[in-house]
């Protein structure tokens, strides 16, 4: 394993040249900020995040600067002044949105974020998530020393399997979580060995240096050293936890560089089409609503879940749902176990013993005769939908309100079709959705 | 109600003419038997059953004579001599089979059965079911006096709904059960009023004059006055019990002659075909095995149940099964909720936590990639059957051994097809099977 890690380090540790470029940009940004903040003597700024702690990956260099405001500022002031400062110190910029808007841009060709936040006494009293970042940095900055490259290995190991990032699109491991795990387990190698035995009911208390099982816990809980109520792994899904644990096991068993590079799969078009002909996969395509990803993805998940429930309520067994965003189009995929149902289903009445209820049951006007099953009244009623695509179409046309606030508005005029010959842009996603092997 | 019953009595009480014909035949049969039994001084004969108790319906006059053998006779002797006597006293005859063979034939144009049985001290020590009949007659003959026409009303009421007869083909009320119920409740009218409130957990103890509920009882228990361990209603199915109770309620609410005459329904051919096109009904036709009905029908029920289980095990939801015998052909019908399934189904593995089991799961050679659902391993496996008719065909070809000893042997070369245009002989059955209304 050591040899493999040595090899990989060559790719994950930034070159001297890149470091020099980054340092120069950081110095320039610092100079500009000092100059700018002369106008705001009660504000201060700090370099935080992976750049400040030297845990960044060469392919994702980004300098994070936080501007700290005293609590006397209103949120509106913080936002206005924060953005103004950001715009004035960056060469080119755009607004981005997390809990609050912040400025993203470049300094001497290097990506940078300028994020306003409050300067607080305790991380437990924060007003918004960004206010916690200075505390995270304080806690980590000395503890991570000497382990920076282990963090880099971990990040790349996760990225290769699309497990890096706590955002809703990924539901994986945040950079902060990566650093805490490396501090807790001491090294990448040791983390991998321990994670191979992880369970979803573990509590990892980084500050106290303890790990223990907690009965009934549904997903791993990594206690934030700066706020013990907070789970740093809150956004990590159980299935991504499972993927990570599996990956650790496989890596231990047979260490190789491949674990650090995403695998590109070859798609067999003929196999793909043949598979789609004998399975029932439906695509709903609709215009992407103009919202940020961290809002969009939970809504897409909700839409998948609700469409699934709708189908199941109408007796169409759902095998899997998935979503995929391509440029300005959202795509939802639903695979059902069958395409067509017979026109009737059973409708049960009372056991024959319940005299009055039974009489009401047989006196209702019904399309079919009633009969008994195990002494219980039964009749047939017409199904609302006999075709899966009909059901999906009715769901998005008439029940769009439950499919996410913004997604619902767009999906209602979406297009539903069974997929047999996928477009070139969707092929890769569908190949993976079907769990095909080359 | 009284008026209706008066009207119906005209149809259910035999005419004087028919009675005279029956009496003449009975006298003749008695004469012949006395003559014949001179050779067997230790045998005696008795008129038993509905003819002897004057509870027969005009359309089903049949004289039952039982020849009683002392216990010193072997079964083989009883059978041989019994048949010989029967053959010699009837004008024309054929062998029939109940517990033992007996002779059915005619005397002066009237149907008659000559049945050999043992003469025993107690009905609890019988060797075969027919040995009980003399005891039944003893118990009933005086008690039924004056209530004969109530029995007739009940029998006709049941016949109109195919609820008369304890044989497996019907699973309804035996003649003996009808008489006990009339004795117990005093009259047809009172029986109907009480039966409207029946429950499946009732014990009706005729000899003790008590009726009470028994917790956990799955079907009504009518205690045989001559053998308290025996349930006279053992062969009555819960669903036929329910049908009877419902019929009593409807009759009380709105008495009319129609309850005593079977309804003939008009079949709408066009509606029938349209219905079959939008539902999935499969027919299995095969040669009727040469066995008695009381053996055949339980086997047909078993075959229906087993085919149903087979389909459900292969994820084809079964709505209903039914069987129907037409001349020398047995027909089994199966309705499924859908015709075609996608080629794959989910195959679950262990939760990711179970290290060793997980490693075994992922190392098996598989057609599809695995993934996780709620932390559990899942993969897809190919279904054995994607078409319902394929599954049925494989079931009867390769699993016929479980489909009833004699039925299995025949069904294995049966023909399976989806029904869209039923033949004229099966139309009526299928109309009812689909629970269509005119």
Do A338 and B342 count as a contact with CB atoms less than 8 A apart? yes
Mean pLDDT of A370-397: 97
Which of A281, A344, A373, A419 is most worth mutating to test chain B (most B CB atoms within 10 A of its CB)? A344
Q: β-strand B202-205 against B221-224: which pairing, if any?
A: parallel
Angstrom distance (rounded) from CA B338 to CA A21: 65
The predicted pLDDT at position A273 comes to 97
What residue segments make up the domains of chain B, in order of their start?
Answer: 15-133, 146-260, 269-340+385-434, 344-382
Within 10 A of B186 (CB to CB), how many other CB atoms are there?
12
Question: Left, alpha or beta for B101 (phi > 0: left; psi -120 to 50: alpha)?
Answer: beta
Token readout for B47 is 């008129």
Instruction: State the nearest Cα–Cα gap between B15 and chain A, in angstroms.
Output: 37
* Known binding positions of B: 50, 53, 62, 64, 113, 136, 155, 164
Alpha-carbon distance values, B179 to B72, B153, B155, B232, B249 (Å): 32, 11, 9, 11, 21
pLDDT band at B240 (very low <50, low <70, confident <90, very high): very high
Q: Answer whether B76's CB lies under 8 Å from B92's CB.
A: no
* Known binding positions of A: 50, 53, 62, 64, 113, 136, 155, 164
Angstrom distance (rounded) from CA A346 to CA B250: 24
The predicted pLDDT at position A250 comes to 97
Do B352 and A319 count as a contact with CB atoms less than 8 A apart? no
CA atoms within 13 A on the CB side of A40: 18
> At B250, phi and psi to the nearest 5?
-70, -35
The predicted pLDDT at position A260 comes to 97
Among A196, A238, A343, whose Cβ lies nearest the Cβ of B374?
Answer: A238
Strands lying side by side in the sheet with A376-382:
A344-351, A376-382, A371-373
B388-423, pLDDT tens digit by residue? 999 999 999 999 999 999 999 999 999 999 999 999
A421-431, pLDDT tens digit by residue? 999 999 999 99
Among B342, B358, B434, whose Cβ lies nearest the Cβ of A337?
Answer: B342
> Does residue B99 have a pLDDT over 80?
no
A189-228, pLDDT tens digit by residue? 999 999 999 999 999 999 999 999 999 999 999 999 999 9
In 3D, which of B407, B133, B399 has the Cα closest to residue B295?
B407
The predicted pLDDT at position B135 comes to 95
Length of chain B: 438
Do A375 and B239 count as a contact with CB atoms less than 8 A apart? yes
ipTM of the complex: 0.94
Using a CB-CB distance cutoff of 8 angstroms, which residues of chain A are in contact with residue B432? 369
Do B373 and A279 count as a contact with CB atoms less than 8 A apart? no
SS3 assignment, position A250: helix
Q: What is the 3-state secondary structure (H, E, C) of A366-388?
A: CCECCEEECCEEEEEEECCCCEH
Mean pLDDT of A157-166: 97
Token readout for A306 is 């609700």
**Which residues fall within 8 angstroms of residue B424, CB to CB, at 6 or more apart?**
none
> Does residue A348 have a pLDDT over 80?
yes
> Does residue A98 have a pLDDT over 80?
no
Angstrom distance (rounded) from CA A417 to CA B151: 65
B13-57, pLDDT tens digit by residue? 999 999 999 999 999 999 999 999 999 999 999 999 999 999 999
Using a CB-CB distance cutoff of 8 angstroms, which residues of chain A are in contact with residue B280? 342
Token readout for B41 is 């001084």
> Does residue A100 have a pLDDT over 90?
no
Mean confidence (pLDDT) of chain B: 95
Regarding the domain with residue range B15-133, which homologous superfamily does it belong to in the CATH classification?
Beta Polymerase, domain 2 (3.30.460.10)
Mean pLDDT of A338-348: 97
* Known binding positions of A for CTP: 50, 53, 136, 155, 164
Within 10 A of A175 (CB to CB), how many other CB atoms are there?
22
Question: Left, alpha or beta for B225 (phi > 0: left; psi -120 to 50: alpha)?
Answer: alpha
Burial (0-12, 13-18, 19+ Cβ within 10 Å), B8 = buried
Strands lying side by side in the sheet with B329-336:
B318-326, B329-336, B280-287, B415-418
Angstrom distance (rounded) from CA B24 to CA B26: 5
Q: Answer whether B129's CB lies under 8 Å from B167's CB.
A: no
Angle subtended by helix axes A175-185 and A133-143, to nearest 10: 30
**Which residues fall within 8 angstroms of residue A417, CB to CB, at 6 or more apart?**
A282, A283, A389
> Does residue A434 have a pLDDT over 90?
yes
Scanning every residue of chain B, which has its alpha carbon at the shortest distance from the alpha carbon of A279?
A: B342
DSSP state of B171: -
Written as one string, the DSSP assignment of A167-231 is STTT--B-HHHHHHHHHHHSSHHHHHHHHTT--TTEEEETTTTEEEE-TT--S-EEEETTEEEEE
Within 10 A of A266 (CB to CB), how many other CB atoms are there?
6
A-B Cβ pairs (cutoff 8 Å, strict): 133
* Known binding positions of A for Mg(2+): 62, 64, 113
B55-72, pLDDT tens digit by residue? 999 999 999 999 999 999
Among A335, A375, A379, whose Cβ lies nearest the Cβ of B200?
Answer: A375
Q: Answer whether B65's CB lies under 8 Å from B113's CB.
A: yes
> Does residue A121 have a pLDDT over 90?
no
A230-283, pLDDT tens digit by residue? 999 999 999 999 999 999 999 999 999 999 999 888 999 999 999 999 999 999
Q: Answer whether A222's CB lies under 8 Å from A177's CB.
A: yes
Do A344 and B279 count as a contact with CB atoms less than 8 A apart? yes
> Does residue A35 have a pLDDT over 80?
yes
Instruction: State the nearest Cα–Cα gap between A228 and chain B, in angstroms.
Output: 26
Instruction: State the nearest Cα–Cα gap between B429 and chain A, in angstroms.
Output: 14
The predicted pLDDT at position A392 comes to 98
Angstrom distance (rounded) from CA A306 to CA B338: 24
Using a CB-CB distance cutoff of 8 angstroms, which residues of chain A are in contact with residue B335? 342
The predicted pLDDT at position B101 comes to 87
SS3 assignment, position B205: strand
Burial (0-12, 13-18, 19+ Cβ within 10 Å), A72 = exposed
Gyration radius from chain B CA atoms: 27
B345-377, pLDDT tens digit by residue? 999 999 999 999 999 999 999 999 999 999 999
Instruction: State the nearest Cα–Cα gap between B434 and chain A, in angstroms.
Output: 8
Q: Which of 3.40.50.2300, 3.30.70.1550, 3.40.50.1220, 3.20.20.450 would CATH assign to domain A344-382?
A: 3.30.70.1550
Across A100-104, B22-26, B72-76, B121-125, least confident range: B121-125
In 3D, which of B212, B352, B138, B366 has the Cα closest to residue A248?
B352
Alpha-carbon distance values, A294 to A207, A322, B87, B236, B291 (Å): 29, 17, 93, 64, 72
Same fold, B15-133 and B146-260: no
pTM: 0.90
Q: Answer whether B103's CB lies under 8 Å from B90's CB.
A: yes
Q: Answer whether A172's CB lies under 8 Å from A297's CB.
A: no
The predicted pLDDT at position B178 comes to 98
Across A38-42, B67-71, B98-102, B195-199, least confident range: B98-102
- Who wins on pLDDT, A8 or A129? A8
**What percentage of chain A has pLDDT greater than the value 70?**
100
Among B341, B353, B366, whose Cβ lies nearest the Cβ of A199?
Answer: B353
> Does residue A122 have a pLDDT over 90?
no
Using a CB-CB distance cutoff of 8 angstroms, which residues of chain A are in contact with residue B375? 200, 238-239, 241-242
DSSP state of A164: B
**What percentage of chain A has pLDDT greater than the value 90?**
93
CATH architecture of A269-340+385-434: 2-Layer Sandwich (3.30)
* Known binding positions of A for ATP: 50, 53, 136, 155, 164
Mean pLDDT of B263-291: 95
Burial (0-12, 13-18, 19+ Cβ within 10 Å), B275 = buried
Using a CB-CB distance cutoff of 8 angstroms, which residues of chain A are in contact with residue B374? 238-239
Within 10 A of B189 (CB to CB), how many other CB atoms are there?
17
Instruction: State the nearest Cα–Cα gap between B5 and chain A, in angstroms.
Output: 23
Question: CA B321 from chain center: how many Å?
Answer: 16
User: Angle at CA B209, nearest 5°, toward B204 and B211?
Assistant: 35
Question: Hey, what CATH topology would domain A146-260 get?
Answer: Poly(a)-polymerase, middle domain (1.10.1410)
Burial (0-12, 13-18, 19+ Cβ within 10 Å), B344 = buried
> Does residue B98 have a pLDDT over 80?
no
Which helix (H) or strand (E) is B203 found in, with range?
Answer: strand B202-205
Task: Give the residue carrying structure tokens 């000559």.
Answer: B114
């Amino acid at each position: 394993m050591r040899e493999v890690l040595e090899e990989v380090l060559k790719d994950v540790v930034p070159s001297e040249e890149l470091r020099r470029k980054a340092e120069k940009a950081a110095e320039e940004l610092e100079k500009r900020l000092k100059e700018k903040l002369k106008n705001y003597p009660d504000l201060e700024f700090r370099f935080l995040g992976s750049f400040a702690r030297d845990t960044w990956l060469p392919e994702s260099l980004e300098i994070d600067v936080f501007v700290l405001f005293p609590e006397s500022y209103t949120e509106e002031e913080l936002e206005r002044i924060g953005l103004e400062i950001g715009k004035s110190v960056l060469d080119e910029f755009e607004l981005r949105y997390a809990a609050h808007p912040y400025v993203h841009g470049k300094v001497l060709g290097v990506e940078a974020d300028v994020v306003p936040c409050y300067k607080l006494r305790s991380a437990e009293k924060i007003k918004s998530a960004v206010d916690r970042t200075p505390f995270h940095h304080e806690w980590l900055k000395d503890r991570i020393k000497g382990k920076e490259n282990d963090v880099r290995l971990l990040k790349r190991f996760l990225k290769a399997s699309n497990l890096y990032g706590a955002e809703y699109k990924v539901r994986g491991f945040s950079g902060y979580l990566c650093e805490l795990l490396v501090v807790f387990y001491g090294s990448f190698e040791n983390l991998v060995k321990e994670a191979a035995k992880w369970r979803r009911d573990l509590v990892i208390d980084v500050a106290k240096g303890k790990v223990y099982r907690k009965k009934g816990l549904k997903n791993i809980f990594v206690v934030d050293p700066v706020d013990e109520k907070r789970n740093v792994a809150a956004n990590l899904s159980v299935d991504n936890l499972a993927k990570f644990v599996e990956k650790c096991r496989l890596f231990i068993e047979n260490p190789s560089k491949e674990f650090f590079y995403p695998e590109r799969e070859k798609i067999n078009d003929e196999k793909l089409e043949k598979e789609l002909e004998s399975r029932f996969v439906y695509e709903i395509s609709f215009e992407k609503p103009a919202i940020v990803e961290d809002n969009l993805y939970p809504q897409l998940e909700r839409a998948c879940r609700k469409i699934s429930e709708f189908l199941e309520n109408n007796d169409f067994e759902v095998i899997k749902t998935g979503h995929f965003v391509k440029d300005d189009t959202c795509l939802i995929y639903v695979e059902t176990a069958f395409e067509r149902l017979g026109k009737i289903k059973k409708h049960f009445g009372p056991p024959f013993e319940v005299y009055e209820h039974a009489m009401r049951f047989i006196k209702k006007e019904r399309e079919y005769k009633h009969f008994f099953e195990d002494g219980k009244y039964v009749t047939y009623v017409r199904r609302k939908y006999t075709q899966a695509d009909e059901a999906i179409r009715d769901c998005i046309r008439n029940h769009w309100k439950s499919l996410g606030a913004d997604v619902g508005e767009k999906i209602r005029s979406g297009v539903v079709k069974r997929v047999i010959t996928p477009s070139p842009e969707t092929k890769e996603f569908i190949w993976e959705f079907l769990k095909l092997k080359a």
